[in-house]
Structure 1
Amino acid sequence: MTEPLKGILPVAPTPFHADGRVDEEGMRRVLDCLIDQGVDAICILANYSEQFVLSDEERALLMRISLEHVAGRVPVIVTISHYYTGIVVERAKAAKAMGAAMVMMMPPYHGAGLKADEQGIYDQFAAVDAVGIPVMVQDAPLSGVNLPVPLLARMARELEQVSYFKIECPFAADKLAALIEAAGDHVLGPWDGEEAVTLLADLDAGCTATMTSGLFPEHIRPIVMHYLGGDRDAAYAQWQKCLPLINHENRQCGLRACKTVYAEGGVIGSDHVRHPQKQMSERTKTRLLDLARELDLTALRWGK
């Protein structure tokens, strides 16, 4: 990458056949559908990709399929999070060797009882920094790990590749603003997540990109681009238009929303999620699809 990434960088869902097997062709179709929606990059193997239900072999397969199929059309960000630093480093090396543009990682944690201290967190990111591929820090409540601004700013200043930060913790806007103030130009990518539910506040704080699900990036990207282009009224109007679906996905559906819409539109053959996750209720699904149809989502007609 010659310029810092901006815009929308959605997480690609991992499609499964109805019997739970990885749908390899479906993965290719997911990537094509996202690219057709005008995304600025694609993230794979993230939490919204159900990385926590994939075997090591499936993970390697999906990374290879994704990087080979995208073939440089847009940058691909590969999630490499793991508690053990050795595995994180090996994953970073593999992603770099296969042409990934960036890796994303959460701080090391394993449940509530196994969390690294600040030096351990720094050391793990430093080990990946040495691989020589841009690194994005994912600051998400799922880990239960506190990443204070001074630690993030230190990593931004001292670790050459650690320049991107996805902040999706409570009060994300204040944290983004504090990080930008503390680390300045060392922060190339102050980003948000959480399906863009806090996007306007985060843009006010200096956010330059959002990592949502793949549900409807073609509608969320204009919010970011209008704002960055100086048209805040247009950004606000577009955000208001998207808010009902953003809220329903964020509060009622989670990662299942994207897969359900993609299956409805023929992008993939099944919206299966692996046990112990459950399919959403028909009530929740009906509301999701009604909201999706109101916005005439690309994914609803892409495969038909």
Structure 2
Amino acid sequence: MSISYTGIWPVAPTPFHEDGSLDEGGMKRVLDLMIDQGVDGICILANFSEQFLITDDERRTLTRLCLEHVAGRVPVIVTISHYATPIVVARAQEAKDLGAAIVMMMPPYHGALMKGTAEQTFEQFRQVGEVGIPIMLQDAPLSGVDLPVPLLVRMAREIEMLKLFKIECPQAAAKLRALIAAGGEAIEGPFDGEEAITLLADLDAGCTGTMTSAMIPDLIGPVVKDFLAGNRQAAFDGYARVLPAVNHENRQCGFRSAKAAMVEGGVIGSAFCRHPIAPLHPDTHGMLMELLRPLDPLVLRWGK
């Protein structure tokens, strides 16, 4: 599969039944919805998939289920982050063997005090690179690991399979601009994240793709395409239309928003999140629906 590192590559949520067990049928419906939303790729087992609340056995089940069900319709990114390098390497090999197009990983960290150094981070990514599958580096505040631009450029130049960089740190546009300027052709796929809350600035800085949630990629994707095609005003207008919903998701709901919208649209049966994640407050949920309905996104009508 020839892959263009551009467009919208959302994170698939992981649906659960009300008793907390995996909803495998719902997972397939989520993937089908996302493909119908016109996504360019799908990411699974990421933070917005609640990967920190999923067992190792469930990871294996979901990796196989998702890759078999998508069946090459779009490329799939499998998130493999872990503090232990041998575990990350094993996850990368499993993802490759099952047909993943890309793996995504944060630098090694475990809590607030166990963080990989620059050399430890480089070495973990180097070892994953030897598996022979393209890598997306996720630069997210959650890890707490400092990833300065010179380190990222060195990694891009010396680790052949490190091709994509998802930058979602504070002032992401400034870092994207500096990374692209310093790394040149070694930065094959500069992406942003964080539900596209800084999308226009990041596109202006040179990013070629975005990793949002699966809530409204059918409405955000055209913003990316318009901007990259030079249709700036169309991109501005499209983004202004969705920004209140994006802001509410980013600041109030997090990964619970996509599930709430999918329940509303009959995609999945439950918005359950495992403890200690609390359900959305009814008022927060209500405003989310108020903001989404005028946009008429596919998620609200796909399953009806």
Q: Please state which band the TM-score falls in when normalised by the shorter chain.
A: over 0.9
- Secondary structure in structure 1 of the residue aligned to 2:4: coil
Unaligned runs of 5+ in 1: none
Alignment partner, residue 213 of structure 1: 213
Alignment partner, residue 154 of structure 1: 154
CA distance in 1, matches of 2:51, 2:263: 19
Alignment partner, residue 45 of structure 2: 45
CA distance in 1, matches of 2:2, 2:23: 33
Residue 279 of structure 1 deviates from its aligned partner by 0.3
CA contact (8 A) 2:3 2:75 kept: no
CA contact (8 A) 1:197 1:246 kept: yes
Alignment partner, residue 276 of structure 1: 276
Cα RMSD between the aligned structures?
0.6
If the length of structure 1 is used for normalisation, what is the TM-score? Answer: 0.99
Alignment partner, residue 13 of structure 1: 13
CA contact (8 A) 2:166 2:193 kept: yes
Alignment partner, residue 22 of structure 1: 22
Residue 4 of structure 1 deviates from its aligned partner by 3.0
Alignment partner, residue 287 of structure 1: 287
CA contact (8 A) 1:42 1:75 kept: yes
Residue 157 of structure 1 deviates from its aligned partner by 0.6
Residue type of the partner of 1:18?
E
- Secondary structure in structure 2 of the residue aligned to 1:15: coil
CA distance in 1, matches of 2:159, 2:65: 30
**Residue 199, structure 1, aligned to residue 199, structure 2:** yes
Residue type of the partner of 2:285?
K
CA distance in 2, matches of 1:298, 1:140: 29
- Secondary structure in structure 2 of the residue aligned to 1:153: helix
CA distance in 2, matches of 1:116, 1:4: 31
CA distance in 1, matches of 2:237, 2:142: 31
CA distance in 1, matches of 2:209, 2:144: 24
Alignment partner, residue 301 of structure 1: 301
Residue 290 of structure 1 deviates from its aligned partner by 1.1
Alignment partner, residue 247 of structure 1: 247
Residue 116 of structure 1 deviates from its aligned partner by 1.1
CA contact (8 A) 2:7 2:40 kept: yes
CA contact (8 A) 1:38 1:218 kept: yes
Residue 2 of structure 1 deviates from its aligned partner by 2.5
Task: Trace 1:180-199 onto structure 2 (pairs within 5 A).
Answer: 180-199=180-199
Could you list the runs of 4 or more consecutive aligned residues of structure 1 that deviate by over 2 angstroms after TM superposition? 1-4
Residue 3 of structure 1 deviates from its aligned partner by 4.0
Residue 70 of structure 1 deviates from its aligned partner by 0.1
Residue type of the partner of 2:5?
L
Residue type of the partner of 2:87?
I
CA distance in 2, matches of 1:162, 1:69: 26
**Residue 117, structure 1, aligned to residue 117, structure 2:** yes
CA contact (8 A) 2:248 2:288 kept: yes
1:180-213 Cα deviation digits (max 9, x unpaired): 0111011110000000000000001000000000
Residue type of the partner of 2:171?
F
CA distance in 2, matches of 1:166, 1:81: 14
Alignment partner, residue 259 of structure 2: 259
Alignment partner, residue 127 of structure 2: 127
- Secondary structure in structure 2 of the residue aligned to 1:39: coil
CA distance in 1, matches of 2:3, 2:71: 19
1:93-112 Cα deviation digits (max 9, x unpaired): 00000000000000000011
CA distance in 1, matches of 2:99, 2:2: 15
CA contact (8 A) 1:4 1:188 kept: no
- Secondary structure in structure 1 of the residue aligned to 2:278: coil
CA distance in 1, matches of 2:165, 2:180: 10
Instruction: Count how many residue pairs are aligned between Structure 1 and Structure 2.
Output: 304
1:143-184 Cα deviation digits (max 9, x unpaired): 111100000000111110001000000010010011101110
